Chains A and B, each alone.
Chain A
Amino acid sequence: MNNKRVKLGVILLYFVIYELISKSIGESLLLPSIGEVLKAFLLLAVEKTFWINVFCSLIRIFSGFILAVLAGCVLAALSYFTKFGYVLLSPLITVIRSTPVASFIILTLLWIKSGYVPVFISFLMVVPVVWGNIYEGLKTTDLKLLQMADVFGFGAWKKLRYIYSVHCAPFFTTACVTGLGFAWKSGIAAEVISMPKFSIGRRLYESKVYLETPQLFAWTLTVIALSIVAEKGIKRIFKMKAK
């Protein structure tokens, strides 16, 4: 049996289990059936506001993600190339990693406009991931190749282009794929709490308040679908780059 069929079989199995549980509860308010969720999803998808909400959330989360990737790379380089970079940044990153995301969201709400909170939170959650991976990549760069580069008078650009970037590429891919997942989860959580006007998070919250459980599931389904599409997209980009 090939891998794809196994995966499809497993997904179908989970759908069947879900449907059985939903049927046994028999209460759409607590656990709607797959049919009800799909119906709610289709009803949402035909509305213009659905796409506006999705677009605005995408912009916020990707802005935070891209800024975090850039900042994470710069900070990792600072940590690796400067004497006190790592000493200065390491405790800060540990604090960010271990602080609950909700604390950051509530704190950030006091400082910046609600529309920017998801951007900042996505940024904050992704920076440590990128920093950690890229720093590890830089640290494990082949010392012998660097010695060779020094012997043959490679400048900083040549070293970056032909040695560091090649060695760090898999670390960068891992950082981006993992970071994107973090960005989605934290970004949507930030939207739920900060409630910007157009956002998936706000719609999730409203579905909960108005006890529209099928809509709540439909929005969750949207988030999962977008997250999978984004992850696949980013993996494809890196695959193409590698070729």
Chain B
Amino acid sequence: MDIVLSHIYKSFENPVFADLSCTFKSGTLTALCGSSGSGKTTLVNIILGFEKPDKGDLVFEKKPVFSVVFQEDRLMEELSARENILLNGCNKDECDRLLKLFGLDESKDRVVSKLSGGMKRRVAIIRALTYNADIYIFDEPFKGIDSEMKEIVMASVRKMLCGKTGILITHDLNETKIADIVLDLDKIKKGV
């Protein structure tokens, strides 16, 4: 499912987007890069419907189902890692497989509040990956994950999102290697 943004205007105290147009192609994982404050998360919030653009159009072929790794983990702190994931109604075996693969097998029954930042991030990724959606949005998903585990997680994300529409927001150029397309928001805004 294509995501088409045309002539988007959005300002808070300062203008974030002025006449921004871009398309996220169906079946491709697009890495969205850009400097801090360039509006990456705002753009995603507009796509998710959490923010309304001041002007402009956002077009989907049909009402999409999203799956998201939020910038903040947005996990239920008093529930265990496994419970958090299963709340999305996913298959238990798939959940356990990914927990094991992501090195969370021993911590899966610990409450999320007791997990480290990197562990919480991995839980949030599993929750998003196991949810059956039309569009996957991952906002800096690998932040805080140690380098060895990061490679495993990145490979899994690449594999599981193959052929699906996805947006990967990242600052790290190394992370963009799992994407099919790289979009630099700073350049799009300048019309380069």
Chain A residues at the B interface, C-beta cutoff of 8 Å: 144-145, 147-148, 151-154, 158, 162-163, 166
Contacts and interface: CB of A to CB of B under 8 A. Distances in A.
B127 A144 contact: no
A148 B74 contact: yes
A162 B87 contact: yes
Given A145-B74, A147-B48, 5 more contacts: A144-B70, A148-B70, A152-B87, A152-B131, A166-B76
B79 interface: yes
B68 interface: yes
Mostly, the A contact residues are helix
A153 B88 contact: yes
B127 A152 contact: yes
A154 B78 contact: no
Ranked nearest first, the 8 interchain pairs of A and B with the lowest CB-CB distance are A148-B74, A152-B88, A151-B68, A151-B66, A144-B74, A162-B76, A147-B50, A145-B74
B182 to A, nearest CB: 25
Nearest to B133: A151
Contacts of B89: 153
A152 B68 CA distance: 8
B170 interface: no
18 contacts: A144-B72, A147-B48, A147-B74, A148-B70, A151-B66, A151-B67, A151-B68, A152-B87, A152-B88, A152-B131, A153-B65, A153-B88, A153-B89, A154-B87, A158-B87, A162-B79, A162-B87, A166-B78
